[in-house]
Structure 1
Amino acid sequence: MSEGAATAATVATAAGTAPLRERNGGQILVEQLRIQGVKRVFLVPGESYLPCIDALHDHQDAIQPIVCRQESGAGYMAEAHGKLTGEPGICFVTRGPGATNASIAVHTAYQDSTPMILFVGQVGNDFAEREAFQEIDYRRMFGQMAKWVAQIDRTERIPEFIARAFAVATSGRPGPVVLALPEDTLWGKASVPDMPRYQRARSAPAPAALDALQTLLAGARRPFLLVGGSGWTAAALRDLETFAERFDLPVGVAWRRLECFDNHHANYAGHVGWGMDDALRARIRDADLLIAVGTRMGEATTEGYTLVQSPLPRQTLVHVYPDAGELGRVFRAELPIAADVVSFAAAAAALRPAAEPAWRGLARAAHAGFLAHQQARPAPGPLNLDRAACVVRERLPRDACLTVGAGNYALFPHTYYRFQGPGTSLAPTVGSMGYGLPAAISAKLEYPQRTVVCYAGDGCFQMNLQELGVAMQYRLGIVLLVFNNGMWGTIRAHQEREFPGRTIALEFDNPDFAALVRAYRGHGEVVQSDAEFGPALERALAFAQEHSLPALIEMRYEADGIAPGQTLSGIRAAALAQRAPAAVP
């Protein structure tokens, strides 16, 4: 024991408290995670943080280590855990290549406002600045994609840094924290007290702001409530429903935030952003009062900052957001309110209209418009993905969780499925590919009794298909729907729109996905028609539940059917028509 540690232990004994134990850095760190309530960590083991791996051995009763196959998968699982629970998802990766692989999940957590902590092994301080084996300056590498990036250079400061990491990841606008762990810090020893469990900082709306909101509502004729962001709880959504019901507000959910309002609710108007129907777009465009709660209203939600114009929206804007620094940054709001969604929803639920709202019936009409677009659209070929999405909607229980990565295939569940609240949808608003399978694994670990279905494009799935090994190892009965059209479909649509008839570098040969999942002890089928899909889905769900192993349905369909109500041939024809020379009179 060092002289300083011995002195600290002596003081503790003299004060009548238990003497501090000398522990190495890995032991101190993992014990802090336990104190902070961590129950699961996702990792790809590496020699750069061996003391942490060893310390996990002593906490198996409280912390479950999930051994992943690649760091991007591990990072995605941690990010999905943060979305599901509101608590920081924890990921450990080794230095250098491990960190670069995990960076995609950090970027996702940043743009999706998800609490997450990434621990990265680092060369010892005695080797620093020599470009030692796998050495990277993580402050420079992660600086623009994390809320806080730091390196713990002293063993005795580990508790301080961990407590701060949890506070930063969850406060204001939630997001990722990256902590580098030099080897000498982890192997070093110290006698240091633990930090208590963190307390989440809350920001509530001021009474004057609530009075101003009621005044704006009283003068409105066509209001609209737009909900998104992170940090929602079931209780907060019930409060928001109360607010929407009392004021008869139509409610839309921001891009890929479909879990932020019950899609079955009579006030639900639809999914706002790319791919929305014209009637919903018109409701938001023509609204005289737009109340945006929890959402940044990014590019996808605002359709390139046109539906809600930046910097000065055409609608009177009330913007509620937990980070005051975000308010006024992109949109000038008539009423900016710095408040987290839980606190705002509780306050809004207590408001009551002074008189019958002038727009009575607007919410009912908006919900009727949403339901009118729930009927499957025509599509080319024997397997209609619109009808398949409706089959999924009718078959799954309401608390099922659907996950997606990125691609036009995701428009099918987002158009037809009706999500119910927190934990029913996991989708990266940043549009990162390879997310669906790791997210489904994380959801099944957190909610083992729930049905979990992953939608994945053939390209998207192959970015992290190795994580099927995690589903096999931990006996996770997830169902995967793999959309096989043999190409990068979204990019093909963009090429046809911008360079019609000149597509290149888009197609690829695929493996037999159904056979592949069987190599992971799972169940696999190929479907090519509407008649085959329903029975195959039933078999997949039954297998996953009975055997606690993954089940996969490979959906081979006509590639021309690129999105609900859209075909590639139609996109090409429209683009060519725009480029045709005008007729000479």
Structure 2
Amino acid sequence: MKIKAVNGFARTLKSEGVPWVSCYPTSPVNNALGEEGVPILMMGEERFAVAVADGFSRVTCGKQIGVCTVMAGLNAAGIQMAYGAVAQAWEDSSPLLVIAEGVGPGATRHTHYDIGQAFKSVTKWVGEIDRAELVPDYVRRAFTHLRSGRPGPVLLLVPRDLGEYDEAEHPYAPVKGWRSGPDPDDVKTAVKVLLAAKDPLLYIGEGVLYSGATDELVKFAELAQLPVLTTLKAKGAFPENHPLSVGVRGSMAEHFLRKCDVLFSIGASLFPNRFSHTIPDAEKKTIVQCTIDTLDINRSYETRCAVIGDARLTLQALGEELGKRTGGGRKNPALLEEIRAARQEFMAKFRPWLESNETPINPYRVLGDLMKVLDPKQSFVTADSGNTRDQTSTVYETHIPRGFL
């Protein structure tokens, strides 16, 4: 049976389990989404449409893909307004599907703005659908990118009046997504370096969250008896009430970052910016980088040892190798005591502010009271950018994955 291309498009999203689509203001597929039973959330601006979908992908760690539509076509102002939000998703490696109106055949002469070319630098892939029957193929490829490899946004351009296609001749099946495991030789080398280290540090990035590897991370950290530091975006990947946690920022995190002789990174790009750590005296440390993306290797720092693969599969392999070499793991009571004392000293600095009665109110007092009433195993906390984010992420103790965003 023949169906309109936009309705077929909407059905593919529905089959992928997309629960809703955020939008602003118009798109050729919006009405079709409604006709096919996919709810639409109307935002007040293009950037918000992208940001809401982006946030959904982040909160679910990519298990569900956020989808949005924005206005484009010959009137490309909407997609131009959305550029900053898409660029942020790209910079943060967030899987997100952006749908916009493409410029139809023969209409490119009416515009000098090439949407696809403009967005190639901030997306994993741009798909420009030019025939109705190719809708399933393009959506299939889009979700392959969204569910495989390093996460990132994808843009699909759907021209208006694309026509119809036969759904029976061009069926669609949901995309699984694929993972790649590490080279066993690289795993052995990494574990050998780890066991030879005097003061190793486990440095955790957001890739652990997207891989669904938080349980494997706890198991590996306990097996190896390593202090665990996370980037800001990975806050919550390792429970911060765990005896091996050294948090995400502040004097305690800084102490262990400076002290380490081997920095053992998993799921992090190691790119020094506002949301991760600059590695002090990096040239004096041995860096082991376990990442899904070879572009991260030797980018910001010299990587002495690399393990390329999905974070979950990598942690499983590392744990198996470490278990073989250590006879079931190590014990390090001195390290646990060092972390306990460092945490106590760290919190002693902030406790007067967390309990302050000064006026105007100290922002840390708000956070202190918040921590008294929230159940950290049942709560999700986020903060505005700037000082609020920095203060909250420093003192709020996150116990569950994505308990802080």
TM-score (structure 2 length as normaliser): 0.89
Cα distance in structure 2, aligned partners of 1:234 and 1:364: 31
Report the CA distance between 1:296 and its aligned residue.
0.8
Q: Residue 302 of structure 2 aligns to a residue in which SS?
A: coil
Task: Determine if the alignment matches structure 1 residue 258 to structure 2 residue 235.
Answer: yes
Partners of 1:280 and 1:366 within 8 A in 2: no
CA distance 1:285–1:233, shift in 2 (3 Å): same
The equivalent position to 2:285 in structure 1, one of 297, 315, 340, is 315
Cα distance in structure 1, aligned partners of 2:48 and 2:298: 35
Task: Determine if the alignment matches structure 1 residue 299 to structure 2 residue 299.
Answer: no
Matched residue, 1:354: 326
Q: Which has the larger radius of gyration?
A: 1
For residues 539-567 of structure 1, the C-alpha deviation after alignment (integer angstroms, 9 at most, x for no partner) is xxxxxxxxxxxxxxxxxxxxxxxxxxxxx
The equivalent position to 1:289 in structure 2, one of 245, 255, 262, is 262
Matched residue, 2:207: 230
Matched residue, 1:42: 22
Partners of 2:201 and 2:226 within 8 A in 1: yes
For residues 130-189 of structure 1, the C-alpha deviation after alignment (integer angstroms, 9 at most, x for no partner) is 12xxx731122212111112311111111111111111123221100111121132xx11
Matched residue, 2:310: 340
CA distance 1:333–1:204, shift in 2 (3 Å): same
Matched residue, 2:123: 146
Q: Residue 98 of structure 2 aligns to a residue in which SS?
A: strand
Task: Determine if the alignment matches structure 1 residue 241 to structure 2 residue 218.
Answer: yes
Report the CA distance between 1:58 and its aligned residue.
3.1
Q: Residue 175 of structure 2 aligns to a residue in which SS?
A: coil
Report the CA distance between 1:123 and its aligned residue.
3.4
The 5-angstrom pairing of residues 64-463 of structure 1 reads: 64-85=39-60, 86=62, 87-95=64-72, 96-131=76-111, 136-185=113-162, 188-191=163-166, 192-230=169-207, 232=209, 236-272=213-249, 276-277=250-251, 279-300=252-273, 305-307=278-280, 309=282, 313-350=283-320, 351-352=322-323, 354=326, 357=330, 360-374=333-347, 375-378=350-353, 381-398=359-376, 399-426=378-405
Q: Residue 232 of structure 1 aligns to a residue in which SS?
A: helix
Q: Which runs of 5+ in 1 are unaligned?
A: 1-20, 427-585
CA distance 1:368–1:42, shift in 2 (3 Å): farther
The 5-angstrom pairing of residues 420-569 of structure 1 reads: 420-426=399-405
Residue 75 of structure 1 aligns to which amino acid in structure 2? Answer: V
Partners of 2:89 and 2:152 within 8 A in 1: yes
Cα distance in structure 2, aligned partners of 1:201 and 1:262: 27
For residues 241-286 of structure 1, the C-alpha deviation after alignment (integer angstroms, 9 at most, x for no partner) is 01111111100111332122111111110114xxx22x43232122
Q: Which runs of 5+ in 2 are unaligned?
A: none
Instruction: State percent identity of aligned pairs.
Output: 24
Count residues in correspondence.
Answer: 389
Partners of 2:235 and 2:402 within 8 A in 1: no
Cα distance in structure 2, aligned partners of 1:76 and 1:344: 31
TM-score (structure 1 length as normaliser): 0.63
Residue 253 of structure 2 aligns to which amino acid in structure 1? Answer: L
Partners of 1:308 and 1:315 within 8 A in 2: yes
Cα distance in structure 1, aligned partners of 2:302 and 2:123: 25
Report the CA distance between 1:217 and its aligned residue.
2.0
Partners of 2:257 and 2:279 within 8 A in 1: no
Report the CA distance between 1:119 and its aligned residue.
0.5
Residue 24 of structure 2 aligns to which amino acid in structure 1? Answer: V
CA distance 1:301–1:205, shift in 2 (3 Å): farther
Cα distance in structure 2, aligned partners of 1:110 and 1:178: 11
